[in-house]
Chains A and B, each alone.
Chain A
Amino acid sequence: MATLTTRAPDRASRRTTVGTPARRGRRQTVTAYLFLAPTLLFFAVFLVLPLLFALLLAVSKWSGFSLGQITPIGFGNFASILGRGSTFLTPILTNTLLFAFGSVVIALLASLVLANCINRLRFQGFWRTLYFLPIVTTVVAVGNIWKVLYEPTGGLVNGLLNAIGLPSVSFLTNPNTALPSIVVVQAWTAVGSAILILTAGLKAIPESYYEAAELDGAGAWTMFWTMTLPMLRPTLLFVSITQFITALQSFALIIVMTGDGGPADATNVAGFEMYQQAFKYGDWGTASAMAFVLFLVILVITLAQLWFFRRKGEETS
């Protein structure tokens, strides 16, 4: 505002139409809130209200059909799902953590390597598009494609195994292999967007750094370890956090590939169990309680990652 008053003599005739700074400030406030109105309204109805409702349900017992039947029962739901004999902690929560951890780690490592490699080639756009393919197709497609690939009779993976003399493996019906098989698929779909974001981070590192290091005689591995990785830290953190949050709650792939939670509940994850509790068993209180427990888990893991990456940053800087 100060700059305008000093420029006033040039535009004296026009300035009068705009009004005093105070009135302009008020106008901006009103306009701003009008621009924000749809957003704020949306969040009020579809974020704040649901959260409150979910909180209410988490401490109640309800079958879902008539609002008047919601019966508050205190922390009974939490006691039941965290207590003895509950399947929520084991195996469901452990499955969820394994699923998330496995798929994110694989996706991160693979995309780190691939983003770096792609960065050195020509036709980078082509390669990145190639890796982006799985994201463009629906989870239904991905799930079914891989279900077919994993089939003991008629699947490509077992076809390859048989061709080199190994017996077929029932990937999705064997409790020991079911979850890892799906973890691989989840990582497969996540690699593309991770590569994209990591590439943005890579491209922000000036070439001059590398040239200087090369002149000093640094090898490719040293450059990667001492320069690329630390400078990618913020990008890696972003990818890691967003992918973890997604993986901890996603279960569409699990529904498509193993409809009911897998052999011996091997692929039952928290999101899926919560969905079943509400929409199959009609136990809305338990479902909401599970949702909040899962949310807490996500929060803890996110904070842990922030802490971990910050520590690493302090060490290297």
Chain B
Amino acid sequence: MRRRSLATLGFAAAGATALGGCGASASARGSGPVRLTLLSHYANAPLKPGLAKLIDEFNRTHRTVQVTAQGVNFDSLLETVTVRQAAGRGADIIQPYGLWAGQFAEAGVLVPAPKGIAEEIRAHYSKAAVGAATVDGTLYGYPTETQTYGLYYNKRLVPTPPSTWDELESAARKATKRDRHGNIVVQGFGVSKEQDSNVVHPFLSLLQSAGGHFLEPGGTHTAVDSAAARSVLDLECGLIRARVTDPGTDMAKAYPSGLVGMTINAGWWLGALPAMMGGSYKDVGTAPIPGPRDGARGSLAYGYFMGVNAQSRHQDAAWEFLTWLNRGKSRGARATRMGTFQYSVGTIPPRPADTDALTEGTKNANLATFAAALEYATPEPNINHGQQIKAVLQKNIEAAWTGQAAVPDALRTTAEQVDNLLAR
């Protein structure tokens, strides 16, 4: 009896160890080509197949290095990186959202870009793009996507885009339609609660156009409890109270369906709208986000970049792949592979040279708005705890929108909470 139960225990332990060992050791063995994994949020069309095509091209032409892409939904990306990193199974190449660069730098997730690569990047990429991938002066990878914000409007509902907040309010009122129950059928101006970015980024864009800023220089305190910020929230809450805006709507469906007069969103939407709207795409117009006074504009720039994992055992091969992808050009192409890929899905390429080469001769007025915004847009900060700070800002803005907190109180709470996070 004694022997039997001991033996069973022994078997169980050995079995558990063996089962556990099976999964992980395969990738560590060295013979054969070097295998790299790339983790990004490109999990659906058109980004997933686009990236897959590029990776296939690389795999075909490079026999000693083979790359596999892993795509997860953006909502799960941060968690996936953190959990897999903690489990010792991080991907060799990671494409984080710029906001997380500070968190990753603090945790030592990514290695800084090697000197030669960093110099090339600083010389040939736009300031906003480089900023997203830089923390405390250290550059962590190749910028891949750069986005800015602008005002989307429906030409049928809003004939001329507004250039001041007063014009925005009156245009919104004119465009609103309600049914007999009082439910809003067509919104004059749309705000969205879908993701934190939908709430925070338009706010920060408007903040800039109102002359405010989010972080004090030095990055230890927030400047969000200001008159400029109050005016932005007053504008948004005023629109909600006038029942010209309904925060509960799904903006991703409502605007393409022609049910929204104006809304603020990022440039990548231009890549998705034609497919969603078909013929009615001609109603889409874009303009700079206006400020309280004539001539004021505001926008926010954010980006993604691809860096190499500090846990990776094949860092040189990883940088080799990244250089091929972000600096190399396919035969006969006018722009780099990454630049061409991003432009094909409606995003401004992070290299100005690519933008010039790809837009030469074309006239895409809508895209021009976002390209121009790169000049004046304020970059999204990427300090440590950036994601948490963004979440705090989002929750407080939502509290103001729904009337749970008065605007000054909401901003004061935000400042306290953000300062608490900055001090950690």
Binding site for B on A (CB under 8 A): 30-31, 34, 37-38, 63-66, 69, 80, 83-87, 152, 167-168, 170, 173-176, 259-261, 263-265, 279-283, 286
Which B249-298 residues have a C-beta within 8 angstroms of A?
none
Residues of B within 8 A of A65 (CB): 85-86, 107-109, 311
Which listed residue, A30, A86, A152, touches B420 by the CB 8 Å rule? A86
In the complex the two chains form, is B416's CB within 8 Å of A85's CB? yes
In the complex the two chains form, is A34's CB within 8 Å of B2's CB? yes
A298 to chain B, nearest CB (A): 25
Residues of B within 8 A of A261 (CB): 391, 395
B312 to chain A, nearest CB (A): 13
Segment from B75-83, B129-137, B138-146 that makes contact with A: B75-83
For the A-B complex with A30-B2, A64-B85, A167-B183 known, give 16 more contacts whose Cβ atoms are closer than 8 Å. A65-B86, A65-B108, A66-B108, A85-B418, A85-B420, A86-B417, A87-B395, A167-B181, A174-B248, A175-B398, A176-B402, A260-B391, A261-B395, A280-B387, A282-B103, A282-B107
In the complex the two chains form, is B85's CB within 8 Å of A175's CB? no
Q: Is B148 an interface residue (CB 8 A)?
A: no
In the complex the two chains form, is B395's CB within 8 Å of A265's CB? yes
Q: Is B220 an interface residue (CB 8 A)?
A: no
- Separation of A34 and B1 alpha carbons in the complex (Å): 10
Interchain pairs with CB closer than 8 A, number: 94
- Separation of A283 and B103 alpha carbons in the complex (Å): 9
Q: Is B63 an interface residue (CB 8 A)?
A: no
Q: Is B182 an interface residue (CB 8 A)?
A: yes
Which B382-424 residues have a C-beta within 8 angstroms of A?
385, 387-388, 391-392, 395-396, 398-399, 402, 404, 415-421, 423-424
Residues of A within 8 A of B193 (CB): 173, 263
- A281-B395 in contact given A65-B311, A167-B181 (Cβ < 8 Å): no
Closest A residue to B106 using CB positions: A63
B3 to chain A, nearest CB (A): 11
From A83, A85, A261, A286, residue with most partner B Cβ within 10 Å: A85
In the complex the two chains form, is A264's CB within 8 Å of B2's CB? no
Q: Is B9 an interface residue (CB 8 A)?
A: yes
Which listed residue, B9, B85, B385, B396, touches A38 by the CB 8 Å rule? B9
- Separation of A64 and B89 alpha carbons in the complex (Å): 13
- Separation of A220 and B86 alpha carbons in the complex (Å): 60
In the complex the two chains form, is B402's CB within 8 Å of A175's CB? yes
In the complex the two chains form, is A63's CB within 8 Å of B417's CB? no
Which listed residue, B83, B108, B196, touches A260 by the CB 8 Å rule? B196
In the complex the two chains form, is B395's CB within 8 Å of A83's CB? no
Q: Is B64 an interface residue (CB 8 A)?
A: no
In the complex the two chains form, is A152's CB within 8 Å of B417's CB? no
Residues of B within 8 A of A286 (CB): 424
B356 to chain A, nearest CB (A): 39
Q: Mark B227-265, 1 if CB is under 8 A from A, else 0.
A: 000000000000000000001100000000000000000
B77 to chain A, nearest CB (A): 10
- A84-B404 in contact given A63-B107, A152-B248 (Cβ < 8 Å): no
